[in-house]
Chains A and B, each alone.
Chain A
Amino acid sequence: MDLNAFLILAAVLFCIGIYGVLARRNGVLVLMSVELMLNAVNINLIAFSAYVQDVSGQVFALFVITIAAAEVGVGLAIVMLIYRNLRSPDLDKIDQLKG
Chain B
Amino acid sequence: MLQRAEILGVRDFYRDYFAVAVLIGAALLMVGAMLGAGRLIRPVRPQAEKYVTYEAGSDPVAGWGQSNARYYIYALLFLIFDVEAVFIFPWAVGLEGLGTFGVVEMTVFIVLLALGLVYAWRKGVLRWA
Which A residues form the contact surface with B (CB < 8 A)? 1, 3, 26, 28, 50-53, 62, 65-66, 69-70, 72-73, 76-77, 80, 83, 89
Contact = CB atoms under 8 A, between A and B. Distances in A.
A-side binding surface: helix, strand, loop or mixed?
helix
B64 A52 contact: no
B64 A26 contact: yes
Nearest to A55: B90
Contacts of A72: 79
B48 to A, nearest CB: 26
Contacts, number: 44
Contact of B76 (A50, A76, A89): A76
A85 B83 CA distance: 30
Contacts of A62: 86-87, 90
Nearest to B4: A51
B86 A53 contact: no
A1 B69 contact: no
The 8 closest A-B pairs by CB, nearest first: A69-B83, A1-B7, A73-B76, A53-B5, A50-B7, A66-B83, A89-B64, A1-B8
